[in-house]
Amino acid sequence: MAMADTGIGQVSSVQIGAVAPLGPDGVPSGFVKRPVTGLVEARALGLVGDAQADLRVHGGPDKAVYGYALSNYGAWAADLPEHGWRLRAGAFGENLTIDGVAESDLCVGDVHQIGSTLLQVCQPRQPCFKLALRFEDPRLPPAMVMNGRAGWYYRVLTPGALAAGDAVRLFERPNPGFAFTRLVAIVSGHRPSMDELARMATMEGLAGWLQTRARRALDQSIPA
């Protein structure tokens, strides 16, 4: 279902980061990003110049580029005004801060055309202790789980280049009946139905580990 002319948002800013010490114990992390101007190349494993420290749980094709809604920042500021000074684009470690698109606007597997790239929404972010270190506040990871403002990871389907100011266009929506917010809830611990598991087991665009988990749950005939 091609929708390449369907503009839904705009890249507000692009961020990349190198591995550097994070927090009082100097945990290696690529969490801290800096804004970049001009074209940035997007490849299968992410944006050129961006890095991850722990490749067991970060990076890889299904976590190549992290997108986050610009609108979420206002909601965070309302919830945690003491962190207002930190709440600027890139604060959550995202590569793309996107205006006009939020979790509630997405379906699992959506393909976005940004610049000369095609990027596919394949899973939400699962917050870890490094989010707490970045904000110096242990409330942040559980708050993200509760409020669902998780952001989304893109898989790079077509490598190319993108930049701040680029339009975000909905190129394809293979799973119009499976809202991304529902996937966020499932990943955060809400039980999927058997029908949802059956769909997830073969769902186009869904991260591979989630497909595997769904198939395993179906084989065991219990919710994942």
Let me know if residue 185 belongs to a domain. no
Evaluate whether residue 78 is within a structural domain: yes
pLDDT for 222 equals 59
CB-CB contact of 33 with 93 (8 Å): yes
User: What CATH number did the domain enclosing 15 receive?
Assistant: 2.40.33.20
Model pLDDT, residue 56: 75
List the structure tokens of 172: 């394809």
Q: Are 187 and 33 in contact (CB under 8 A)?
A: no
Number of domains in the chain: 2
Q: Please give the pLDDT value at position 5.
A: 61
Do residues 116 and 60 both lie within one domain? yes
3-state secondary structure the chain: CEEEEEEEEEEEEEEECCCEEECCCCEEECCCCEEECCCEEEECCEECCCCCCCCCCCCCHHHCEEEEECHHHHHHHHHCHHHHHHCCCCCCCCCEEEECCCHHHCECCCEEEECCEEEEEEEECCCCHHHHHHHCCCCHHHHHHHHCCCCEEEEEEECEEECCCCEEEEEECCCCCCEHHHHHHHHCCCCCCHHHHHHHHCCCCCCHHHHHHHHHHHHHCCCC
| Residue 129 to residue 66: CA distance in whole angstroms | 17
The reply to whether 42 and 139 lie within a common domain is yes
Per-residue pLDDT tens listing for the chain (224 residues): 455 567 899 999 999 999 999 988 898 989 999 999 999 999 999 999 999 877 777 789 999 999 999 999 999 999 999 999 999 999 999 999 999 999 999 999 999 999 999 999 999 999 999 999 999 999 999 999 999 999 999 999 999 999 999 999 999 999 999 999 999 999 999 999 999 999 999 999 999 999 999 999 999 875 55
Claim to verify: residue 160 and residue 195 sit in the same structural domain: no
Burial of 1 (0-12, 13-18, 19+ CB in 10 A): exposed
User: Both 138 and 60 in a single domain?
Assistant: yes
Q: Please check whether residue 84 lies inside any domain of the structure.
A: yes
User: Which pLDDT does position 151 carry in this prediction?
Assistant: 98
| Cβ proximity of 203 and 213 under 8 Å | no
Q: Which residues contact 83 (CB under 8 A, 6 or more apart)?
A: 76, 77, 135, 137
Sheet with 46-47: list strands edge to edge: 46-47, 40-43, 160-162
Do 137 and 215 lie in one domain? The reply is no
Closest CA to 9 of 152, 127, 128: 152
The model's pTM is: 0.94
Q: Is residue 186 part of a domain?
A: no
Total Cβ atoms within 10 A of residue 162: 23
Q: Which residue range forms the structural domain that includes residue 89?
A: 2-178
